[in-house]
Amino acid sequence: MAAALGRWPLWLTLCLGASLAVDRGNFKSCEQSGFCRRQRRIQPGNSPYQALLESLQLGPDVATIQLVNEVTQVPLLLELWGLTGNVTRLRIQELSPLRPRYRVPDVLLGDPPAERLEVTGRDEGTLELSLGPGGHRLLVTERPFRLDLLRQRELLCSVNARGLLVFEHQRRRRDSDPPKDPPGEEGAAQEGPEDGAGSTQSDKPAEPPAEPEEEPGAWEETFKTHTDSKPYGPTSVGLDFSLPGFEHVYGIPEHAESLRLRPTEGGDPYRLYNLDVFQYEVFTPMALYGSVPLLLAHRPRLSLGIFWLNAAETWVDIGSNTAGKTLFGKLLDYMQGGGETPQTEVRWMSESGVIDVFLLLGPQPADVTAQYGRLTGTQALPPLFSLGYHQSRWNYQDEADVEAVERGFEEHELPLDVLWLDIEHADGKRYFTWDPAKFPNPRGMLERLAARKRRMVSIVDPHIKVDGGYRVHTELRARDLYVKTKDGNDYEGWCWPGSSAYPDFTNPEMREWWANMFAFDQYEGSTEALYTWNDMNEPSVFSGPEVTMHKDARHFGGWEHRELHNIYGLYVHKATAEGLIRRSGGRLRPFVLSRAFFAGSQRYGAVWTGDNTADWEHLRISIPMCLSFGLAGLAFCGADVGGFFQNPGPELQVRWYQAGAFQPFFRAHAHLDTARREPWLLSPEHLALVRAALRRRYALLPTWYTAFYHCHRQGIPVMRPLWMEFPDDPHTFAMDDQYLLDRVLLVHPVTEPGARGVNVYLPGEGEVWYNDETHEQHRAPQTLYVPVTLSTIPVFQRGGTVIPRQDRPRRSTEAMKGDPFTLYVALSPQGTAQGDLYVDDGISFDYATKNAFLHRHFHFANGTLTSSSADPRGSMSSPAWLERVVILGVGRPESALLTTHGERGLGGFGVLGWVFGILGWVLRGVLGF
Amino acid sequence: MLPPPPLLLLLPLVVTGTPEVTVTRPRGVALSQLPFYDPSGPFRCLDGSGSVAFAWVNDDYCDCQDGSDEPGTPACPNGRFHCTNAGHRPRSVPAAHVNDGVCDCCDGTDEWGSGACENTCRERGRQEREERLRSAARAREGFALRQRLVQEAAEAKREKESRLGALQAARRELQARLGPLRAAKEAAEGPEREARERHRPREPTQDEAGAAEAFAELDGDGDGRLTLEELRAHPELDGAEIEAALGSGGSVDSGTFRERLWGLVRERLRPQSPPEEEEEEEEPEEEEEEEEEDEEGPEQVPPVPPQEGEGPPQEEPQFDEATQALIDAAQRARDDLAAAERELKEAEDGIRALETELGMDFGPEGEFSYLYNQCWELSTSEYLYRLCPFQRVTQRPKNGGAETSLGLWGSWAGPEGDKFGAQKYEGGTGCWQGPARATTVSLRCGAGTALRAALEPSRCEYLLELETPAACRELPAGHEEHDEL
């Protein structure tokens, strides 16, 4: 929806003028962020830290070793785990902290199971630990402290090899008045400040360390007109990771950036700090609405991940020893044998918290995403309708407008699943209410939509209008559930409704209260057909520093906002999703779209790339952005189709529909000040192209849903970079203008104006690909020039795969329920293919709680298509059947036999006849499967 | 090639239009298409693209490119399903809507598989007939009004045209008179001037006495000369004009004062001079007219000199009879010219206004002309909208704030074939980062004239709905009784 400064106070928007560009001055550079400046000034070199190897304690799961800073003599505690499934965890904190530090709760699914650690070697200055059965070993070097992680004799990753471990130990203020300790109330978060101190096995606190030179900004920092009181002074942490052999790193969304991250030398590091950035630009390392501190690295035969579990403001520097070298230069190095091995350096810097790192050791790309999924959870299985098309605008004005827009979809035979209402629907931006003049009968409106198998999403933002007549406000104030200022008053800032307060979603009681607000008798006018959109949950505070909350604001348990800023939005998302589940008695899956996110947000629903712009650059960047989201677990990603700000021309609008139809979350949305752009406002020719794109989306919904099921079960992204499926083909490593949908379709949307053709890279030695529309076969690998017209969406099905489709163009996903499937069997050069289909009721949790699902596996070989169960746990009666099998890669076969192995609970089957029809030679038939 | 028989459904359907008539035809086929669905032979796709066994019609599998083999199932992406809707109106819906759980046909036949729908055609038909009757009554009433409007418009147009003709004739006549009147004025003013020059009043007039009195009052130091400093002691006399009149010498004696300054300072020293008051009261009607004219156009009408026979102006000195006669004659000539010029201007203004109005397109029969020079308002929860047809649209926030222009008259903007169905107003107040506001006014038939709706479908694009009898069309006879099947 709406960037903070949209149409809001003149004194803020003046500087933006009419030009369309982010105002960088509103947001900090590394130099303006005290801890980033301090840390970045430290150059690689000898680390002042040494590991006291003799302090090693080997528990059943964890090994602990003390580290000590030779300059300050402050001791730290290093903990090491070898986790099941090729994950190594290391955590560093102060041995005797003045106050407990924030350890991010509610992200990990639980305590990840650990393998038994063993000391397998020891010599002077080095200790070798084995990390379980994966063959991984960890070398701990005493002085200077470093860690080297090996698999057999291969070095995977080194830690603190460049000596950039930073741990600003907590100190007392040197002036007379030390700050009060955090309040430390009862019932604090699981690792609240009051229960952390002394909980580690510590010796007596060390001698008072020597104080380093104080620099300005250490105990108080001012940005623009905002002062951060920093009562606890500098507490930042940082660590470097060296990745030998790696030249390609990815992840750490959200940035409007290419898929492959670029070296940051000479510029700012990538910043992770959830911010409402008005009219963001592409190709910058600036922070955006969400943060996932997960970085992936890939080279042939090996993928790794680094998950830095910290919710404070974080900056990530990427260094590369091959950056800037031409291919020829690298070749020369190689031939002369004098070249260094390519290596990527990654340096994390966070303002506060502890160092808590998970090294995900792959080795395959899908292993890394699965490892991350086991730690933080996988994408929630979306209700099927949410994979359909969403029509949004700021704002559909009233019930008549909603009715008219939906009628437009009917009249023009365009499928539609969800209509959206932005902030103007509520009574004075009091969320959970309806404007009585514009939406006098929301229930009636929802029932009309539901009668046509459609749904609605209304926005519920986490800023609450300060208004004594608004129940949400009066209750939250009475229950004392708002975020506090440093002085203990309710924190208030300016947002859409004017003066607003911010519920403290880090408080479980707050989340509980919020979830209950979604009950049908609490959220008046809501029905089962109403779902939710959480916007502005960075949180956006128009009047705050960098358009967000003051870092010295106070949360539940006494924690400062600075400790947990990046996870605030996740908690909003979580509480809302919980509310939608609860209102159905735990029966139905929620759908919640969130703009802010953190590691783990994938468990609660969908995310999108925020307030983009109607230009070709933003269309192009939507692909790498969603690919990065997917690598970081957030599979249900989309970008506002058409672009949020400004008006797209018809060509851009059509191209955006075509691209959006092949991205996971498919929603058109537009700013209040843009012209209306419902598809029928285009010319009939352009409208027909939009209709065609929508129908292609709907026909492929079984494939989408099956892909989401794979993601939900295995943590593998729905929208995948090519290198995930072709990990040994370096051509694919930096590609982000094309991608794979699951493993079956290669999509290369047209994103250039006036395009006459696109170059599509078809990967896979000895493989073939089939044009999805013409069924023409192409050998791989090759770069194929595909001529395009405005109607073309270059999509290719991989030889050797089977995809399910439902080709009947219904008005919504729910109207497709029970429609028959068509299998598209694309043969490999060997004449075989396989694929699968996942089906359930599309809406409830019965698939999980009652195994009410069907997961079929299809295999084609020797003229026989075999359907078998891919998961014997699942069973469900479905009215759906198989109406057609289209086989790509053969002429008219002699015969084909379809078998189902005579399994229980399946419909009959028969020998199918070949017919020459609309799709060429196909198997025509009707059978259960 | 004739593949094996279909495994699904063969669906001859009994459709009951009225209980008496039974027609057997494949599901979803319109009566007019029935001849193409002959069960005695193979079915030819309606586009001629192919041919299949008749048993494959409506077997829930799409064989024809044009979808014609599956009119009654959702198998073909481009198929059409025909529903009879007995009691209401037949419809053709996308075959993809068959059995999707949504009632598209009031007879429910599109949901033959899901059974989701009841037959509501009779009720719907009744409602629609009633509504049609009501709307036909409205339309008739509106159309009658419209006919009156057309008549009135024609009369008004004739009347205006004849008024225009009369004004044009008057203009010609006035233009012809202006030359002689100007000459007469010139001729009369020469002798007047000379006579005034010659004339010396024998004794100080009342005015001269006033001047002497004022001089004495202003001459602060009593030295018989009035200086700039002395003048400046009287702030009411402040002004470059007066200072200039003082001349380069910087001071004047009483005679020079009377000649050069007295005319300038008199009113300021004695603001309630009685002759002025009298003059203002003299012709109130004419004054008002002038003010109105001033609002209309920028032209300024010269001040009207007092008319003959209403007594000489008080400030005029006493002249001898001969001089006075010459002055009176000149004054008459001036008055005559001014009156003619005024009449001419009035005539021209009238001509311009009439030409503008007569040049407007008020619809094929002038039926919209009555909207001209009137305004209508509509109050919504937030705004007061005001439409002055053929002029402008404005919006004023109810909670205070300035009026915003939503556009000035642009053109008729109805769709093709219905040009007079909508009006466009353009070039209103500009928008933030956007274009100038513009409004479309859609016109709809009604017995009265009123603004019915005001919307802003897109930022700064407004949509008003004006109900007017002028938009009513004649209904064909028996329209409301017409009902298919």
Specify the range with the lowest mean pLDDT, choosing from A112-126, A208-222, A911-925. Answer: A911-925
Question: Contact A823/A885 with Cβ under 8 angstroms?
Answer: yes
| Residue A473 forms part of a structural domain | no
Q: Which residues of B touch A401 (CB under 8 A)?
A: 455, 457
Cβ within 8 Å, pair B74-A925: no
Give residue-wise pLDDT tens across range A476-508: 999 999 999 999 999 999 999 999 999 999 999
pLDDT of residue B276: 43
Question: Contact B308/B331 with Cβ under 8 angstroms?
Answer: yes
Confidence of residue A382 (pLDDT cuts 50, 70, 90): very high
pLDDT of residue B288: 42
Closest CB to A808: pick one of B7, B8, B77: B77
Entry field: residues in chain A: 929
Closest CB to A437: pick one of B96, B381, B460: B381
Helices (H), A584-649: 616-631
Q: Is A620 left (phi over 0), alpha (psi -120 to 50) or beta?
A: alpha
pLDDT over 60 (residue A123): yes
Residue A611 annotated as catalytic = yes
Counted across chains A and B, CB pairs separated by less than 8 A come out at 81
Across A16-30, A167-181, A780-794, the highest mean pLDDT is recorded for A780-794
Cβ within 8 Å, pair B101-A695: no
- For residue B248, give the 3-state DSSP assignment: coil
| Residue A487 forms part of a structural domain | no
Q: Is the dihedral of CA A33, A38, A41, A46 positive or negative?
A: negative
Q: Which residues of B touch A910 (CB under 8 A)?
A: 7
Instruction: Using a CB–CB cutoff of 8 Å, tell me whether A692 touches chain B.
Output: no
Q: Does A239 share its domain with A360?
A: yes
C-alpha distance from B82 to closest chain A C-alpha (Å): 16
Closest CB to A810: pick one of B60, B65, B96: B96
| Residue A208 forms part of a structural domain | yes
ipTM of the complex: 0.86
| Residue A18 forms part of a structural domain | no
| Residue A427 forms part of a structural domain | yes
Instruction: Using a CB–CB cutoff of 8 Å, tell me whether A417 touches chain B.
Output: no
CA dist., res. A292 & res. A637, Å (int) = 14
CA dist., res. A503 & res. A498, Å (int) = 16
Question: Contact A568/A551 with Cβ under 8 angstroms?
Answer: no
| Residue A623 forms part of a structural domain | yes
Cβ within 8 Å, pair B433-A673: yes
Q: Does A228 share its domain with A144?
A: yes
Q: Does A300 share its domain with A365?
A: yes
Cβ within 8 Å, pair A397-B102: no
CATH code, domain with A703: 3.20.20.80
**Average pLDDT for A771-794:** 96
Give residue-wise pLDDT tens across range A542-580: 999 999 999 999 999 999 999 999 999 999 999 999 999
Instruction: Using a CB–CB cutoff of 8 Å, tell me whether A807 touches chain B.
Output: yes
Instruction: Using a CB–CB cutoff of 8 Å, tell me whether A406 touches chain B.
Output: no
C-alpha distance from A414 to closest chain B C-alpha (Å): 11
| Residue A190 forms part of a structural domain | no
Distances (CA, A) of A265 to A285, A319, A320, A323, A346: 12, 7, 9, 10, 11
CA dist., res. B472 & res. B420, Å (int) = 11
**Average pLDDT for A113-132:** 91
Instruction: Using a CB–CB cutoff of 8 Å, tell me whether A61 touches chain B.
Output: no
CA–chain centroid gap for B158, Å, is: 22
Residue with the larger pLDDT of the pair B430 and B241: B430
pLDDT of residue A196: 39
Task: Identify the active-site residue in A417, A535, A552, A729.
Answer: A535
What one-character-per-residue DSSP string does A446-497 give? HHHHHHTT-EEEEE--S-EE--TT-HHHHHHHHTT-B-B-TTSSBPEEEETT
C-alpha distance from B39 to closest chain A C-alpha (Å): 22
Q: Which of B10, B51, B60, B61 to mutate to test the interface with A (most CBs of A within 10 A)?
A: B61
Q: Does A366 share its domain with A388?
A: no
Q: Which residues of B touch A819 (CB under 8 A)?
A: 74
Cβ within 8 Å, pair B96-A437: no
Closest CB to A676: pick one of B65, B381, B458: B458
Residue with the larger pLDDT of the pair B18 and B61: B61
C-alpha distance from A841 to closest chain B C-alpha (Å): 16
Domain count, chain A: 4
Across chain A, how many H-helices and E-strands are there?
A: 17, 48
Instruction: Using a CB–CB cutoff of 8 Å, tell me whether A349 touches chain B.
Output: no
Q: Does A404 share its domain with A372?
A: no
Closest CB to A815: pick one of B102, B431, B432: B102
CA dist., res. A278 & res. B428, Å (int) = 28
Q: Does A307 share its domain with A234?
A: yes
Instruction: Using a CB–CB cutoff of 8 Å, tell me whether A925 touches chain B.
Output: yes
Specify the range with the lowest mean pLDDT, choosing from B294-303, B407-416, B471-480. Answer: B294-303
C-alpha distance from A20 to closest chain B C-alpha (Å): 10
**Average pLDDT for A663-688:** 96
Q: Does A741 share its domain with A854?
A: no
Angle, CA of A445, A447 and A448, to the nearest 5°: 65
pLDDT over 80 (residue A735): yes
* Structure-token match 């609309």, residue found: A918
Percent of chain A with pLDDT over 90: 81
Q: Does A874 share its domain with A884?
A: yes
Q: Which residues of B touch A7 (CB under 8 A)?
A: 432
Instruction: Using a CB–CB cutoff of 8 Å, tell me whether A454 touches chain B.
Output: no
CA dist., res. A792 & res. A318, Å (int) = 38
CA dist., res. B236 & res. A434, Å (int) = 64
CATH code, domain with A335: 2.60.40.1760
Question: Contact A51/A140 with Cβ under 8 angstroms?
Answer: yes
Residue of B nearest to A912 (CA): B4
CA–chain centroid gap for A798, Å, is: 26
Q: Which residues of B touch A397 (CB under 8 A)?
A: 455-457
CA dist., res. A654 & res. A683, Å (int) = 11
Closest CB to B432: pick one of A673, A883, A927: A673
Residue of A nearest to B73 (CA): A808
Neighbour count for residue B54 (Cβ, 10 Å): 18
Neighbour count for residue A261 (Cβ, 10 Å): 24
Q: Which of A759, A853, A748, A837 is nearest to A801 (CA)?
A: A837
What lies within 8 Å, CB to CB, of A325 at 6+ separation is A333
Specify the range with the lowest mean pLDDT, choosing from A911-915, B291-295, B326-330. Answer: B291-295
C-alpha distance from A467 to closest chain B C-alpha (Å): 20
Pairing status of strand A136-141 against strand A146-151: antiparallel
Closest CB to B7: pick one of A401, A676, A925: A925
Confidence of residue B205 (pLDDT cuts 50, 70, 90): low
Q: Where is the domain boundary, A329, A358, A376? A: A376
What lies within 8 Å, CB to CB, of B355 at 6+ separation is B164
pLDDT over 50 (residue B9): no
Q: Does A710 share its domain with A730?
A: no
Cβ within 8 Å, pair A917-B8: no
CA dist., res. A454 & res. A399, Å (int) = 15
Q: Which of B353, B365, B485, B448 is nearest to B83 (CA)?
A: B485
Phi/psi at A10 (5° precision)? -60, -35
pLDDT over 70 (residue A210): no
Q: Where is the domain boundary, A697, A719, A741? A: A719
Residue A535 annotated as catalytic = yes
Q: Which residues of A touch B457 (CB under 8 A)?
A: 397, 401, 676
pLDDT over 50 (residue B295): no
**Average pLDDT for B278-286:** 44
Question: Contact A922/A914 with Cβ under 8 angstroms?
Answer: yes
Instruction: Using a CB–CB cutoff of 8 Å, tell me whether A16 touches chain B.
Output: no
Q: Which of residues 84-113 of A touch B (CB under 8 A)?
A: none
Bridge partners of A92, per DSSP, are A78, A355
Cβ within 8 Å, pair B61-A807: no
Closest CB to B102: pick one of A675, A811, A884: A811
pLDDT of residue A924: 60
Q: Which residues of A touch B61 (CB under 8 A)?
A: 883-884, 924, 926
CATH code, domain with A729: 2.60.40.1180
Specify the range with the lowest mean pLDDT, choosing from A463-467, A539-543, B147-151. Answer: B147-151
Residue with the larger pLDDT of the pair A660 and A911: A660
Q: Which residues of A touch B94 (CB under 8 A)?
A: 413, 809
Packing angle of the helix pair B121-198, B321-359 (nearest 10 deg): 160
Q: Which of B392, B398, B400 is nearest to B462 (CA)?
A: B392
Q: Does A589 share its domain with A662?
A: yes
Q: Which of A609, A620, A618, A625 is nearest to A643 (CA)?
A: A618
Give residue-wise pLDDT tens across range A269-304: 999 999 999 999 999 999 999 999 999 999 999 999
Strand order in the sheet with B383-388: B376-379, B383-388, B392-397, B404-412, B422-426, B438-445, B461-468, B450-458
Entry field: residues in chain B: 485
- For residue A360, give the 3-state DSSP assignment: strand
Cβ within 8 Å, pair A884-B61: yes
Neighbour count for residue A384 (Cβ, 10 Å): 23
Give residue-wise pLDDT tens across range B344-359: 999 999 999 999 999 9
Q: Does A690 share its domain with A752?
A: no
Closest CB to B100: pick one of A672, A811, A926: A811
Q: Could you tell me the residue range of the domain that residue A258 belongs to?
A: 30-176+195-376
C-alpha distance from A898 to closest chain B C-alpha (Å): 16
Q: Where is the domain boundary, A735, A768, A797? A: A797
Residue with the larger pLDDT of the pair B236 and B393: B393
Cβ within 8 Å, pair A451-B97: no
Instruction: Using a CB–CB cutoff of 8 Å, tell me whether A14 touches chain B.
Output: no
Token pair belonging to A169:
């130990």
Bridge partners of A500, per DSSP, are A465, A493
CA dist., res. B104 & res. B98, Å (int) = 8
Q: Which of A255, A261, A265 is nearest to A285 (CA)?
A: A255
Q: What integer best gives the mean pLDDT of chain B?
A: 81
Cβ within 8 Å, pair A672-B459: yes
Question: Contact A244/A289 with Cβ under 8 angstroms?
Answer: no
Task: With residue A666 as reference, give the H or E element that holds it.
Answer: strand A666-668
| Residue A5 forms part of a structural domain | no
Percent of chain A with pLDDT over 70: 87
Q: Does A344 share its domain with A402?
A: no
C-alpha distance from A117 to closest chain B C-alpha (Å): 59
**Average pLDDT for A880-907:** 63
DSSP A663: S
**Average pLDDT for A905-929:** 48
Instruction: Using a CB–CB cutoff of 8 Å, tell me whether A319 touches chain B.
Output: no
Question: Contact B105/B114 with Cβ under 8 angstroms?
Answer: no
What lies within 8 Å, CB to CB, of A706 at 6+ separation is A742, A804, A836, A837, A838
